[in-house]
Structure formats: structure tokens, C-alpha cells
Amino acid sequence: MKPSPVEKIKKESDGLRGTIKEGLVNDLTGAISDADMQVVKFHGMYLQDDRDRRDERTEKKLERLYSFMIRLRLPGGVLSAEQWKACHHIAGKFSTGVIKITTRQTIQLHGILKSDLKPTIKAFNAAKLDSIATCGDINRNVAAASHPCQSPLHAEIHGYANLISERLMPKTKAWYEVWLDEEQLLDKKEEDDPLYQDRYLPRKFKIGIGIPPNNDVDVLTNDIGLIAIEKNGKLEGFNLAIGGGLSQTHGNPDTYPRLATVIGFVPSGEPTLKAVYEVLTIQRDYGNRSDRKLARLKYTVDKYGIPWWKQELEKRMEFSLQPERPYTFTARKDYYGWHKGMNDLWYYTVFVENGRVTDDENAALKTALYEIAETGLSQFRFTSNQNVIVADVKEEDKKQITAILEKYSVAKFTEESSTIRVNSMACVAFPTCPLALAEAQRYMPAFISKVEPLMEKYKIAKEEIIIRMTGCPNGCGRSVAAEIGLIGTAYGRYNLHIGGDREGTRLNTKYRENIDETEILKTLDGLFNKYAENRQPEETFGDFVHRYGILAD
Ligand code: SRM
Ligand code: SF4
């Protein structure tokens, strides 16, 4: 089958250099060439335009209002106070000013002009931060369980996130050459890349590490999910799960969301790293390079089947997988407010609505986090639910941090927001995402304000129902893995999905198609009524939907 055009672009990109340097100095346009658009993704950036202003620009016969989004590589999502301050200043100087925490524990800045790309990357580099391989057909930011209070394994697991990220980095030095003006290597052989070669992977690749019993990282939605197995407080190794991925395309029945399948156990240390590496080599060699809609690992897993995968993986690893070890997930959430870690340090999880760090009518969050960073008394950890943890705070410094959180209404917004709001999540969508069909993060807060009274009405306001919205079926806000998922179909219209479980081990199912807000609220009203009247003690909304046969309606 004929390779997709992106395959040619990768191969001919001269180690991901393309003609980016030339494109940067072409001031006739705010954009870059179509081929370079693909190449810069591997450097952690996307060419976008302001979709709110497309019509106005077309009318004035102007080119689209182009700018770039940059996404950082932050395995496990940790920033020091100094790095937070740097991000704050970089965001203010070169981007829209909003620091966007993503669903994979990193940050994105939007609205960066082409002429500001190099200064932005240079400023990040000065803060020891990079954006290498956070997009493109390559391993992305490695996500890991966020809450240090919850497991003695936490620090060790974060060590793995870093090790895996490093091991799966591309060998090309293009990022340093293009953005930091470093000298070109004299001997290109140093860039020989046994993993990615010159073709990289057929498609994006994601790895998450979870620590039961909290599945805050949504581990099974990743191409590779590593589930930490502990015995007497020590890490024994990981259950290895492969083939997770959430995207589907409206009207294309060959595409589907899938949770990863656990195929066995690998001991900690080198065997884990080897197993991960070889899953990538198999996907590199067997993944679909013709149809990008069918190129994710999940399709390669289903095409060849689990027995074949195990056999091929064992052959390449040169050792056998052990039988899967027992584990249970009981939650998938962030624990807001102050909690004490096993290391005697304190952690305050701040609710960041849809991951947008800014100052607004609810709280002066951006100012507060900057002031906290200035004290130098904490680190910052991002969660896969788009929140931030003010982390590693000493007992004696807690008071000072609390005062700042209170002064700027951050504590109030975190502690007094409704249960449904703090368990909600939405992807970026308009105005920057080129693939958005409907609003998500700009609409979700107002939508939640309309769901809250329904929950009050049926006295279920304390239920921790997971609700998520995405502006299209790509699933960036993991809407198909929610108890209630809204998936954009057209402007103002969504498919309503219900029945995912609270722990992240069962996807939801489409219940109503292409409905508007009035219809969504009416449907939820009916569902909440049934749930309030017929649920069993402790039964979650997602489980009730299945037991009560709602999906057959
Ligand atoms: Fe995503 C594409 C934003 C997590 C599945 N995603 C995009 C792009 C880059 C649009 C594009 O291709 O031009 C979006 C940029 C919007 C913007 O303006 O910022 C975008 N994705 C995001 C983020 C920022 C959503 C958020 O609000 O936090 C998340 C960044 C994560 C990160 O830090 O790396 C984000 N994307 C996800 C997730 C959730 C996850 O990984 O846990 C998924 C579903 C899981 C999965 O990968 O299957 C996801 N994004 C996609 C897809 C569908 C991929 C596929 O298998 O077909 C696309 C479209 C594509 O790749 O063609 C996409
Ligand atoms: Fe864009 Fe769709 Fe992802 Fe939302 S889910 S950020 S609309 S690609």
C-alpha cells in the first residue's frame, strides 16, 4: 500500500530539519510550508490560526492570523519554582499569557508569532526546559501518577517517567540547531537512530504510568500503560498494557476508541525499559503507514492479536513476560486541598478549571502561583486532570502558602466549587484547535453551571461524577473515558455518551446523537432523576447506567 504523504516528509526531512530555518526568516507570511508544519511538530510546536477571526481576515483579503502553540516535555509533569517563574514570564512576553495545563501533565503556550519562536525556545532552554518530541510521530510526554501523598513508590515511578522519556528521545540534534543556533554536527553518524531510523513511528505514541489504587493518570488510555505493582512498599515491576487510544472519526466505522490490554508482568529496572522499547520497535515495523487514521498502536494490536504480540515481544526482548499480577483501581481523581506526603512534606492540589492558569473573576490564580514561586518554598506538579499541585512544602512553610492561596481566592475556588465542577475536564477546542467542531474549554464552565442545579434538584450534588467534553471525537479531554462524555459534532452540538466507570477501566457508550444544549440538559435531567430514585448504595452513575439498562433506551 502507498505510504501516506507524511512518511515522505519524515524521510526527506534531513533528521527533522526540513526547511524550518528558511521558513523562519520568510517574513512575507506568518506561516511555514506544509511540509515544515509536519516537521515542527516533532520539535513540540503546531502552526495554528485564530479561528474566531478567520471570516474577518478573509473579508479583508488577509492571510489567516497565524501563530504557534508550543508544548513542553515534562515527564511526570514537574516544574521547580524557578522554572514556574520562567514560564510565567515567557507566557507574558511571547504568548497569550495563559499557561495551559494539558491532560498529559505538561503546559502549552498559545499565540506565539513566528518571529518569537526562537526567543521563546531560547528562554525555555535557559530555564532547562525543552519541547523535544512532545508532538509528532514519536513517543510523547510520559505521564505518571501525580499525587506523592498516595504511594511510597511515587518518587521511583517518576524516575521511570524520566528514564523512559530519555531512552525514547530521537537522536537528531535538529532542535538544538534550529532553535538554539548550535553548530551542525560534523559527523552525522552520531545521529544514527536505531529506534526511529529515518521514518520515526507510523503515528503519535503515548506512555502513562499508574500506581493503583488511584488511576488519576488514566493509564489504560495510553498506547503503553505501565501499572506499578508493589509488595511491602517496594516496586516489584509493572503490568504491561498495550493498545490504548481514544480517537475515532465521525462516520468512519474502522476507527474506534480502545482501552489498553494487559499482556503480562515485567520486573522493574532494565526489563521494563527493554519491554517498552521493543513495543515501539514492533509498532515501528508493523504499524500502518498508509492510512494515518488506522496507524495508532491499538490498530496494530488488534490486527495481529495479543498472542502474536506476546510472542513477537518476547522474541525481541529475549525474555518472557510473566503472568499479569493482581491490581485494583478504586478511583481516578485528584485530591484537592492540603495533604501530607509519606515524606512528611505537604501538597496542595489546586483546581484549575480546564487547565487554564490565568487571573479571572473566580481567582487570581496566575498571580498567586507566581507569588508562591517567588517564595521558593514549593515545586509545581501537574496532574492528568489539568490541575496543579503546589508541592513539597515543609510544615513550617504551609502557613505562608495558605495565605497566598487565600489572598487570591484560589483556596476558595478550589474548596467551594461544586463536586461536578472539580471532576470536569474539557479540551482546548476553539479558537486555536484546527480540528474543533464545537466549543469545549470556553463553554464547559457555563455548561457546568447549568448542570449543577439539576444535581441539586435530585440531591446528588455530592456524587463525584466524572464529566468531560471535547470539541471533536479525537478525545483530547478523554471524553470517551468519562461517566458522562460530550463529544462535539458541529458548532453547539454534541454526542452524549454515558456509562464509563469511575476508575477508568470501561469506556462509555453513545446514548444520544448530535443534540444541542437544551436537549442535553433535558436528557441529563431524566437520567439524574432515574439515578436518584433507583441507584443502589454507593453505586456510581456510570455503573448505574449499565445495571439499570439505560443504554437500551
Ligand atoms: Fe490531542 C490533536 C490538544 C491530549 C488525541 N490535540 C491535538 C491538537 C494538536 C490539534 C492538531 O492536531 O492540530 C490539539 C491542539 C489544541 C490546542 O490549540 O492546544 C490537541 N491534546 C490536546 C491537549 C492540549 C488537550 C488539553 O486540553 O489538555 C492535550 C495535550 C496533551 C499533551 O500534553 O501531550 C491533548 N490528545 C490528547 C489525548 C488525551 C491523552 O493523551 O491522555 C488524546 C486521546 C488519547 C489518544 O491519543 O488516543 C488526544 N489529539 C488527539 C488526536 C487523535 C489521535 C488519533 O489517534 O487519531 C489528535 C488528532 C491527530 O493526531 O491527528 C489530537
Ligand atoms: Fe481539538 Fe478535538 Fe483535541 Fe479538542 S479533542 S483539542 S477539538 S483535536
The per-residue pLDDT for 526 is 98
Asked whether the domain spanning 421-552 has the same topology as the one spanning 138-331, the reply is yes
CB of residue 317 inside a 6 A radius of ligand 2: no
> Mean of the per-residue pLDDT values for the chain?
97
Model confidence at 438: pLDDT above 80: yes
Q: Quick one: pLDDT band at residue 183, thresholds 50, 70, 90?
A: confident
Q: How far is the CA of 429 from the centre of ligand 2 (A)?
A: 5
Q: Which helix (H) or strand (E) holds 314?
A: helix 306-317
421-552 fold: Sulfite Reductase Hemoprotein; domain 1 (3.30.413)
Lookup: cell for 304: 495481529
Tell me the domain boundaries of the chain.
Answer: 45-131+334-417, 138-331, 421-552
Question: What Å distances lie between residue 301 and 172, 228, 234, 264, 294, CA to CA?
Answer: 29, 22, 31, 15, 11
CB atoms within 10 A of CB 313: 23
The per-residue pLDDT for 184 is 79
The per-residue pLDDT for 342 is 85
Residues forming a β-bridge with 240 = 226, 264
Q: Quick one: pLDDT band at residue 320, thresholds 50, 70, 90?
A: very high
- Residue-wise pLDDT for 62-98, tens only, equals 999 999 999 999 999 999 999 999 999 999 999 999 9
Model confidence at 186: pLDDT above 80: no
Q: Which helix (H) or strand (E) holds 226?
A: strand 224-231
- Residue-wise pLDDT for 268-288, tens only, equals 999 999 999 999 999 999 999
Q: Which residues are catalytic?
A: 71, 140, 204, 206, 427, 433, 472, 476
**Residues 431-438: what's their mean pLDDT?**
97
Q: How far is the CA of 427 from the centre of ligand 1 (A)?
A: 8
Give pTM, 2 decimals: 0.97
* CA distance between the termini of the chain: 42
Model confidence at 187: pLDDT above 80: no
CB of residue 432 inside a 6 A radius of ligand 1: yes
Model confidence at 368: pLDDT above 90: yes
**Residues 457-480: what's their mean pLDDT?**
98
CB of residue 46 inside a 6 A radius of ligand 1: yes
CB atoms within 10 A of CB 518: 9
The per-residue pLDDT for 343 is 86
Q: How far apart are CA 381 and CA 80, in angstroms?
A: 9
The per-residue pLDDT for 105 is 97
Model confidence at 363: pLDDT above 90: yes
The per-residue pLDDT for 185 is 72
The residue whose CB lies within 8 Å of the most ligand 2 atoms, and thus the one to mutate among 427, 432, 442, is: 427
Model confidence at 535: pLDDT above 90: yes
The per-residue pLDDT for 487 is 98
Q: Quick one: pLDDT band at residue 6, thresholds 50, 70, 90?
A: very high
45-131+334-417 fold: Sulfite Reductase Hemoprotein; domain 2 (3.90.480)
CA proximity to 124, closest of 94, 158, 159, 167: 94
Phi, psi of 366 (to 5 degrees): -65, -40
- Residue-wise pLDDT for 473-515, tens only, equals 999 999 999 999 999 999 999 999 999 999 999 999 999 999 9
The per-residue pLDDT for 189 is 80
Q: In CATH, what number does 138-331 get?
A: 3.30.413.10
Q: How far apart are CA 95 and CA 97, in angstroms?
A: 5
**Residues 353-379: what's their mean pLDDT?**
98
Q: How far apart are CA 366 and CA 363, in angstroms?
A: 9
8 A C-beta contact, residue 534 and residue 544: yes
Torsion of CA 261, 267, 268, 269, to 10 degrees: -120
Q: How far apart are CA 455 and CA 356, in angstroms?
A: 25
The per-residue pLDDT for 1 is 84
Q: How far is the CA of 264 from the centre of ligand 1 (A)?
A: 28
